[in-house]
Structure 1
Amino acid sequence: MQVENRFDVLSGGVDDPNINAHVAKKISRLSELSTAEIFDLKTEIESELDNLFERLTAQGVDLESSLITPEGFPRSDIDVLQVRLLRRSINMLRNDLRAVIDRAQELMASHFQKLDAKTRRVDDGSAVNYRIPFALVTEVVPGSPAEKAGLLHHDKLVRFGNIHAGNNQSLSALGQVVKNSEDKALAVRVLRADNRFRNLTLTPSKHWAGNGLLGCRLVHV
């Protein structure tokens, strides 16, 4: 029966003793890992690399240092085999780290594509039934864009353009939409005092006798 030794590692004969077996197993299952697990693996590989570089430095060499004397003999001041093993392990883990980063980027790109598609569906008024109020109309100025749109005192906003209960950021997001939508028609959905929903069209504008683009007062609910 052949006995394995450290030289076998250099030719792939056995598992690399310098690489944590748990990390190596996760690397072999890269395609099966979730995004969170992949980011954890990235951190683990980086930690392993730091450890390997420290061990290499402790030998008094780096990745480029010559392992032979000017006369062509192996250096006697270092463990040449150990240095070669460490360099091999570092190069392997560097390649693995690149693969992990590439896989993470693939998963993140896929995630954001799905999120973007979902956002488009949410922003499509025909696909979502907006029902949760996020703002209360406490005043409507006569002759204002809000009044012309049919907005009433005590109406509760459930949609204003693409703003809804989940993204209004205490109305700061709504204010930004109003500012960016001057003279552009916005779909507005309100819940009336009679507990019925109404769909309106409001066009923010400065072209009226009062101040502001809406002519109404809103409070966050």
Structure 2
Amino acid sequence: MVNTQSELMTRAQALMKQKDDIEVDIKKAEDELQSQKVGMTDHLVDSQGFPRADIDLVVVTTARSNLIKLRNDHKTVMLHIEEAIHAVHAEALAEKQSKEAERSQEEASRAAAASSSSSSSSIASATSTHPLYEDEERTLAPFARVNAVAPDSPAKNAGLLQGDMIVAFGVVNIRTTNVLKSLSAHVESRENKPIVVKVQRGEPTELQSVILVPKQGWGGRGLLGCHIVPV
């Protein structure tokens, strides 16, 4: 495309040179007429129909003929120059649009790759952190145990009991990476918001659900008021 634009520019420049040459020839022919003190429409015969004796008829007729041809050539070359300039501008615009399209495509490809990577990460994350269906939860082993529950705490009010085996704490389960750290972060992100906690309790064990709302100001330390240890 760059070569095409260069060729168009070379052609436009050649036409401009041709125009300049024609204008030089036009000026020469006009000067020749001026030297005879006649124009393109002055009569070349006297009142009696004889050739005028005060002018050089050969010079005048030749100059007039040349001017007619040169002015027509000038009009034609000006049209060609206009077309060439439009072509150069159109090619430049096409090149700009092509580059912008290529840049947009590259950006779209990078965005798609990033989105794909993000989607893959999201899928992997969802596999380990998305809340599970109850049938799936029943197949998971507990990842933590409630070691102690403080009186009047959010954990106590939710119904958590010492010895409960935690299968799912909101989005956190045994499949979650850094499970206890993720549990702590999840609790902090859910302050004053309910979390569904699934626990195994009793003999034989049953999967039970409690609603826990982490909060400050209950009279003790932390947001839960219970001590959770890994299993």
TM-score range, shorter chain: 0.3 to 0.5
TM, length-normalised to structure 2? 0.45
Write 1 or 2 for the structure with the bigger share of helix. 2
TM-score for the superposition, normalised by structure 1:
0.47
